[in-house]
Amino acid sequence: MASLKVLNHPPSPSEDAEQLHKAFSGWGTNEQMIIDILAYRSAAQRNSIRKAYKEAYGEDLLKSLEKELTSDFERIILLFTLDPAERDACLASQSTKSSSSNWIFMEIACTRSASALLEVKKYYHSRYKKSLEEDIAHHTTGDYRKVYEAFAHITCSVQLLFPLVSTFRYEGEEVDMSLAKSEAKILHEKIKDKQYNDEELIRIISTRSKAQLNATFNHYNSSFGNAITKDLKADPGDEFLKLLRAAIKCLTTPEQYYEKVLRLAINKMGSDEKALTRVVATRAEVDMVRIKEAYQKRNSVSLEQAIAGDTSGDFKRMLLALIGAGDI
């Protein structure tokens, strides 16, 4: 469930575009007006505003926003205003230059629907003139990878990330219980033998439908006494195991995965604005209501209070608006 509050009868896209243009004019920028418009429009509406803006003023709205805004507030406005497929493609492309890339690739691969992921790939083709898969594979194999291995354990992660990103996963609800049983057994055997990057284990996790995986993990839990993610905690410092556990969470209970990302981002000394921005901008229109519930449950404090206590100014106002705690 989305936390985004979309107006029932919003102004027309050209009226919104005009108001935004006014917000950029004169002395200083009217940040509040930018929030009041962009944080209360759906992806389709924001797209129409961008088109109307381009037609009226001859410049991409994103470009204008980039000129007017700075720092964390700029980042969240730009990221949120983008169309979801475009946003994910940008996040992925930026990630190919960063060492925390694997997490973002994994999030995109495991929490988006098959059709949404396909839209990301199509946008990636048209924008970057290459495939998402080749960039991820290139980034996570060979010489290029060795640069990063010094400070991150990226070895083997291509074996996991590539199939996760590239599979066009089936999304139906049908479950084959005997398959769930036999594959739970395979997973348990591999994990018992510490063969965490075994090709069968990765094959199951990266290709089976989410409904099927859910059944398999349930079967694992009831047959072998532990949740699979618990059995994968053998070596807490192992980056590959961390990524594997996170992928399993993203595939089955994404709200719990995102709750943890937010918790770590907020509790961190100085807080991790990039992570906070990414989660809020990408989930506000998807499942932020569930993420807020998970947050409240785990931290005994609401996400609104946690964000309000940890951020300030326009950045704070925008975050709160997107998680449904702004007033309009």
- List interacting residues with its own copies (CB under 8 A): 118, 121-122, 125, 129-134, 137-138, 141-142, 158-159, 162-163, 166-172, 174, 186, 199-200, 203, 206-209
Give the nearer residue to its own copies in terms of CB position, either 125 or 297: 125
CA 134 remoteness from chain centre:
20
Give the nearer residue to its own copies in terms of CB position, either 149 or 199: 199
Give the nearer residue to its own copies in terms of CB position, either 210 or 278: 210
What is the nearest approach in angstroms of its own copies to the Cβ of residue 298?
33
What is the nearest approach in angstroms of its own copies to the Cβ of residue 206?
8
Within 10 A of 244 (CB to CB), how many other CB atoms are there?
A: 24
Give the nearer residue to its own copies in terms of CB position, either 97 or 129: 129
Amino acid symbol at 160: L
Q: Mutual orientation of helices 273-283 and 254-267 as an angle, nearest 10°?
A: 150
What is the nearest approach in angstroms of its own copies to the Cβ of residue 62?
24
What is the nearest approach in angstroms of its own copies to the Cβ of residue 128?
8
Give the nearer residue to its own copies in terms of CB position, either 62 or 116: 116
Tokens of 196: 């965490």
Query: Are the C-beta atoms of 22 and 68 separated by less than 8 Å?
Result: no
CB-based contacts of 260, cutoff 8 Å, min separation 6:
none
Cα–Cα distance between 52 and 46 in angstroms, integer? Answer: 10
| DSSP output for 115-183 | HHHHHHHHHHHHHHSS-HHHHHHHHHSHHHHHHHHTTS--TTHHHHHHHHHH----------HHHHHHH
Tokens of 36: 């009041």
What is the nearest approach in angstroms of its own copies to the Cβ of residue 77?
30
Give the nearer residue to its own copies in terms of CB position, either 76 or 90: 90
Within 10 A of 188 (CB to CB), how many other CB atoms are there?
A: 18
Give the nearer residue to its own copies in terms of CB position, either 51 or 138: 138
**Alpha carbons within 13 A on the beta-carbon side of 289:** 7
What is the nearest approach in angstroms of its own copies to the Cβ of residue 189?
11
What is the nearest approach in angstroms of its own copies to the Cβ of residue 113?
12
**What is the number of residues in the chain?**
328
